[in-house]
Structure 1
Amino acid sequence: MFLPLPGFLDIHRVGELYLERVAEVSAEAFRYAAENRVRPAREDPIRVAAFGIDVQVGFCLPGAPLFVPGAVDDTARALLWLYTNMAHITELVFSLDTHRVFQIFHPAWWKDAEGRPPEPMTVITAKDVRSGRWRPTRHPQESLSYCEQLEASGRYVLNIWPYHSLLGGMSHALVPAMYEASLFHALVRDTPTRFDLKGENPLTESYSVMSPEVKEVKGQRVGEFNQGLMDHLMTFDRVYVFGQASSHCVLSTLRDLQQYLERTDPSKLSRIHILEDAMSPVPAPPLSPLPAALDFPRLAKEALESFRASGMRVVRTTDGVGE
C-alpha cells in the first residue's frame, strides 16, 4: 500500500538548509504509525533497503561546494518515494562522504612552480607531477604513485575538487529534508538508520562506498573493500540505490557491487534496483577537446546501460517497491 505524506513535509523546501525539526517529526511519527497501522520493520516478509549515496548538503543544495545540477529534484523524488513506500522499506542506509582539508584531491595538496594551488576542476596527471608542473605539498613519492595507479585503472584521472564534505562543516551533513525522513522512518518502522563514512584517508579517493580508487600506495595500505557493508546489504531481498552523483560516487559504488556479485553470486545482481530518476551526473568541465575520462554525463549513461545488462534492475521513483 502507498502511505500518505506526513504533515510536516514541504517538498518545496528540499533545496533549503535548515535545522532539522526533531520534535515535530518525532511527534508525528508515532501518530502516523498508529493511524496507518504500520508494522515494525522486523516483521517485513520481504526485506528492502533504501541505499542513499552521499545525499549531503555539499552535493545536493544550491550554492554548496560541489552542487550537482538536478540534485534538488532528485532528492524530492527520492523523498516522495521513501514516504509513500515506507511500509515496505525495511531500512535506510546512507553513505557520508567525509573529508579534511589536506587530501590528495583538494587544492592544498598541490602547488605550481610559483607556489600557487590549483583551481578546482584542474586535472593533474602523472606526467604533470613528473615534469614538476604540479608539485605535492606533502608525500611526494606517494602522490606520484597514486596518480600513476589511478590512471592505470582506466576509471578516472586525478581531478582537483573544491573543498567539500569537510568533517564538522555543514556541507558534510545529510540534506535536512532527507535527515527528517531518516528520523521519521526510524521511529515509524522501529529500526535504526545505518550511516557509513567514506573518504577520510588523505592518500586516496573514495568515490565508491565499497572501496577506494587505490588501495595501496608505495607499500602503504590506504583502504580496503567494505566487506561489512556488502554483507549487510546482501541480507536484504532488494536494495534500492539513489543519490549523487551518477557519474562518480553512485557509479563507482554500483560498479563495485556489480563486480563483487559477478565473482561471488551473479544471481544476486537482480537484488540491486537503481532509481535512475533520483541521481544526476557531474557536468563535464569546460575543456576542448574534452578527455573521454572527463565526459561525466556520458560515463554515467554508459554505466547505467552496463548495469542493466549485468542483471541489475533500472527503475524509477514512480514505480512501487517490487514493481
Structure 2
Amino acid sequence: MPLPTPRFHEDARIGQLYLERAAEVSEEACRYAAEHRIRPAREDRVRIAAFGIDVQVAFCTPGASLFVPGAVEDTQRTLRWLYANLERVTELVFSLDTHRAFQIFHPAWWQDVGGRPPPPLTPITAEDIRAGRWRPTRHPEESLAYCERLESNGKYILTVWPFHALLGGLSHPLVPAMYEASLFHALARDTPTWFELKGEHPLTENYSVLSPEVTEVRGQKVGEFNARLFEHLMSFDRVYVFGQAKSHCVLSTLMDLRQHIERTDPSKMGRVCILEDAMSSVPAPPLEPLPPSLDFPRVADEALREFQKAGMRVVRTTDPLEP
C-alpha cells in the first residue's frame, strides 16, 4: 500500500514561493516515522536513488525567467510519487544549477556594435564573433575559442539565456515544496540528502549534471566529468530520474549516463529509470520554418526512445516500484 502524504504538504502550494517550514516538517517526520514504522535508509536491501535534476525555482516556479511550462504539474506528480514510496527511496540526489551574472551564456558577457546586450535566446556563433556582430565584454580570445570548440562538438551552439539560478538569489534553491520533501525524507529515513552544484565556471555551459559542454579552452581547464557523482549514482540498484528541462539538462545528463555506463559496465543500464511524466521540455521557439534541432519536445521524445532501446527504463510516477 502506498504511504499517505504528510500533514504539512499542500498540493496547491507547489508552484508558490514561501519559507520552508523546517520545524513543522521535523515534527511531522518524527510522528510519521513512528506511526508508519519507517526504517532507516541504511537497512534497505534494495537501494533506490531519486535523482532530481534542477528542480529549482528558476525552472519550476511560474514567473521565473526560465520557467518550463508543465513544471508545476511535474513537481506535483513527483511529490506524490516520493511520499507514496518514502519507505523504499533510499536517498534523494539533487543537482542545483548555479550561476553568476558574468558567465558566457548570460547577456552581460556580450554586446553588439552599439554596446547593447543580446536579448535572451540569441544564438552566438564563432563567425558572429569574428565578424564583429557580437563582442565579448571580457576574455575575448577565450570566448571565440569556446564557441569554436562547442561548434566542433556538433551538439550545441552558444545560446544566450536570461539571467537564471543566480547564486544568492531567490531563483537558485529547490522549489520550497520539494525542499520540504527532501528534509522530510532525510529526517524520516535518517539519511542526508545529496546536493550537487553545477554550472559555476564562467567559461563553459553545463547542461549535464555530469559534465560541462567544453572542458578546456585555450589550454585552460574549465571542467571535467564528475566521476564521483557517477560512481555514487551507480552504487544504487535503481536510479529514478526526474526534473527540468527534459529537452536540455535532463537530456544531456541522461546522454552522459548512457555513454559512461556503456564504457564501464553496460549491465547497469537497466538501473536508470526515467520518470517521463515528471519532466517537461522547453517549448520550441516560434520560427517558421522551425529547424529540426530547435523542436525541443520532438528532440527530447526521440532521445527517450533511444535511451529505452539502449536499456534504460521509461516509467511513470503512477507505476508501482518493482520489489
Interval containing the TM-score (normalised by the shorter chain): over 0.9
Unaligned runs of 5+ in 2: none
Aligned partner of 1:23 in structure 2 is 23
Aligned partner of 1:224 in structure 2 is 224
1:195-220 C-alpha deviation (Å, 9 max, x unpaired): 00000000000000000000001111
* 1:251 aligns to 2:251 (yes or no): yes
1:155 Cα deviation (Å)? 1.5
Amino acid corresponding to residue 215 of structure 1 in structure 2 = T
Normalised by the size of structure 2, how large is the TM-score? Answer: 0.98
Contact 1:121 1:285 in 2 (8 A): no
Amino acid corresponding to residue 198 of structure 2 in structure 1 = K
Q: Secondary structure at the match of 1:171?
A: coil
1:292 Cα deviation (Å)? 2.9
In the aligned structure 1, how far is the partner of 2:316 from the partner of 2:28?
28
Aligned partner of 1:177 in structure 2 is 177
Aligned partner of 1:72 in structure 2 is 72
Aligned partner of 1:47 in structure 2 is 47
Amino acid corresponding to residue 45 of structure 1 in structure 2 = R
1:293 Cα deviation (Å)? 2.7
1:95-136 C-alpha deviation (Å, 9 max, x unpaired): 000000000000000000101000001111111111110111
Normalised by the size of structure 1, how large is the TM-score? Answer: 0.98
In the aligned structure 2, how far is the partner of 1:124 from the partner of 1:51?
32
Aligned partner of 1:162 in structure 2 is 162
Q: Secondary structure at the match of 1:15?
A: coil
Amino acid corresponding to residue 248 of structure 2 in structure 1 = H
In the aligned structure 2, how far is the partner of 1:153 from the partner of 1:320?
39
4+ residue stretches of structure 1 with deviation over 6 A?
Answer: none
1:43-65 C-alpha deviation (Å, 9 max, x unpaired): 00100000000000000000001
* 1:137 aligns to 2:169 (yes or no): no
Contact 1:155 1:293 in 2 (8 A): no
In the aligned structure 2, how far is the partner of 1:305 from the partner of 1:140?
40
In the aligned structure 2, how far is the partner of 1:200 from the partner of 1:37?
41
1:156 Cα deviation (Å)? 1.2
1:289 Cα deviation (Å)? 3.1
Pairing 1:4-153 to 2, within 5 Å after superposition: 4-153=4-153
1:141 Cα deviation (Å)? 1.2
In the aligned structure 1, how far is the partner of 2:10 from the partner of 2:164?
27
Q: Give the number of equivalent residue pairs.
A: 323
Amino acid corresponding to residue 305 of structure 1 in structure 2 = R
1:261-284 C-alpha deviation (Å, 9 max, x unpaired): 011111100000000000001112
1:169-200 C-alpha deviation (Å, 9 max, x unpaired): 01001000000000000000000000000000
Contact 1:246 1:300 in 2 (8 A): yes
In the aligned structure 1, how far is the partner of 2:131 from the partner of 2:15?
43
Aligned partner of 1:186 in structure 2 is 186
In the aligned structure 2, how far is the partner of 1:34 from the partner of 1:20?
23
* 1:314 aligns to 2:314 (yes or no): yes
1:145 Cα deviation (Å)? 1.3
1:282-303 C-alpha deviation (Å, 9 max, x unpaired): 1122233333332211211111
In the aligned structure 2, how far is the partner of 1:35 from the partner of 1:281?
39
- What fraction of aligned residue pairs are identical, expressed as a percent? 72
1:148 Cα deviation (Å)? 1.4
What RMSD over aligned residues (CA atoms) do the two structures have, in Å?
A: 0.9
Q: Secondary structure at the match of 1:88?
A: coil
Unaligned runs of 5+ in 1: none
In the aligned structure 2, how far is the partner of 1:108 from the partner of 1:322?
48
Amino acid corresponding to residue 109 of structure 1 in structure 2 = W
